Structure 1
Amino acid sequence: MKKSIALLAFLTATVAVKAQTKSAADSLMATMSAGDKPVPVAIFKSTRLVLGKTTEMIKKNELNFQIIHRFGDIAGTNGGGSTAFGIDRVNDVFFGFEYGLSDRVNVNLGRSTVGQLVQLELKWAAIQQTSDDASPLAVTLVGGAGAKPYQTATFPTFSSRLSYIAQALIARKFSQSLSIQIAPTYVRNNTPFPLFVGNEQAFFALQASARIKVSKRAGIILDYAHPFSNFRTTANGFEDPIGIGYEIETGGHVFTVNVTNTNAISEMNMLSNNQYRFSKGQYRLGFTISRMFDFNHKTKKTKE
Structure 2
Amino acid sequence: MNKFGLLPVAILLMAGAAHAQNTDSLLKTLNPTDKKETVATTFKSTHVVLSHSSETEKKHDLDLRIRHHFGDIGGKFGSAHTLYGLDVASDLFIGLDYGVSDRFTVGVGRSKQDEMYNFSGKYKLLQQNVNETMPINLTLFAQMGWIAREPFSNSEFSKYTNRFSWFFQSIISRKISSRFSLQVMPGLTVRKNVSDTRDPETLVSVGFAGRMKLSKRFSFVADYTLVNGLSRPTDLSQAYYNPLGVGLEIETGGHVFSLNFMNSEYILENNFITNTKKSWTKGGVRFGFTISRNFTLFKSKNKDPEKRSDIY
Q: TM-score, normalised on structure 2?
A: 0.81
> Considering only aligned residues, what root-mean-square deviation do their CA atoms show, in Å?
2.0
- Aligned twin of 2:126: 127
1:139 equivalent in structure 2? 138
Mapped to 2, the partners of 1:166 and 1:138 lie a distance apart of 17
Aligned pairs (5 A) from 1:37-116: 37-116=36-115
Q: After TM superposition, which residue ranges in structure 1, 4 or more long, deviate above 6 angstroms?
A: none
When residues 264 and 156 of structure 1 are mapped into structure 2, their CA distance, relative to the original with a 3 A threshold, is same
Q: Which letter does structure 2 place at the counterpart of 1:245?
A: G
Aligned with residue 254 of structure 2, among 247, 252, 255 = 252
**For residue 103 of structure 2, what is the amino acid of its counterpart?**
R
Q: How far apart are the structure 2 equivalents of 1:279 and 1:61?
A: 43
Gaps of 5+ in 1: 1-34
Displacement of 1:239 in angstroms is: 1.1
Deviations 1:198-240 (A, max 9, x none): 1111011000001011001211011111112333558851111
The change in CA–CA distance for 1:170 and 1:115 in structure 2 (over 3 A counts) is same
Kindly indicate whether residue 284 of structure 2 is the aligned counterpart of residue 285 of structure 1. Answer: no
SS across alignment from 1:115: helix
SS at match of 1:56: coil
| Conserved? CA contact 1:151–1:161, under 8 Å | no
DSSP-derived class of the 2:272 partner: helix
Structure 1 match to 2:212: 212
Indicate the SS of the match to 1:169.
strand
- % identical equivalent positions: 34
Report Cα offsets for 1:125-182 as digits up to 9, x if no partner.
0001123322110000011211112334431332110100100000000001110011
Question: Could you tell me which residue of structure 2 aligns to residue 20 of structure 1?
Answer: none
Q: Distance between the aligned counterparts of 1:40 and 1:282, measured in 2?
A: 38
2:203·2:232 contact (CA, 8 Å) conserved in 1? no
Residues 158, 100 of structure 1: alpha-carbon distance in 2 compared, 3 angstrom cutoff: same
CA contact (8 A) 2:196 2:237 kept: no
- Which residue matches 1:23? none
CA 1:233–1:57: 2 relative to 1, 3 Å: farther
Check conservation: 2:198, 2:236, Cα contact below 8 A: no
Q: 1:217 to 1:278 in 2, by over 3 A?
A: same
Q: How many corresponding residue pairs? A: 265
Runs (5+) with no aligned partner, structure 2: 1-33, 304-312
Distance 1:140 1:56 in 2: 8
Q: Tell me what 1:7 maps to.
A: none
SS in 2 for 1:298: helix
Partner secondary structure for residue 160 of structure 1:
helix
Distance of 1:237 and 1:191 partners within structure 2: 17
- 1:281, 1:214 → 2: CA distance? 28
Equivalents in 2 of 1:94, 1:86: separation in Å? 17
> How many angstroms apart in 2 are the aligned matches of 1:163 and 1:288?
24
> Secondary structure in 2 aligned to 1:200?
coil
Distance in 2 separating the partners of 1:157 and 1:54:
34
> Counterpart of 1:198?
198
Q: 1:270 aligns with which of 264, 267, 272?
A: 272
Indicate how the Cα distance of structure 1 residues 180 and 273 shifts in structure 2: closer, same or farther if over 3 A, else same. Answer: same
Moved more, 169-178 or 36-45: 36-45
Q: Provide the secondary structure at the position in 1 that maps to 2:206.
A: strand
1:161 is aligned to: 163
Secondary structure in structure 1 of the residue aligned to 2:300: coil
Deviation of the 1:82 alpha carbon: 1.4
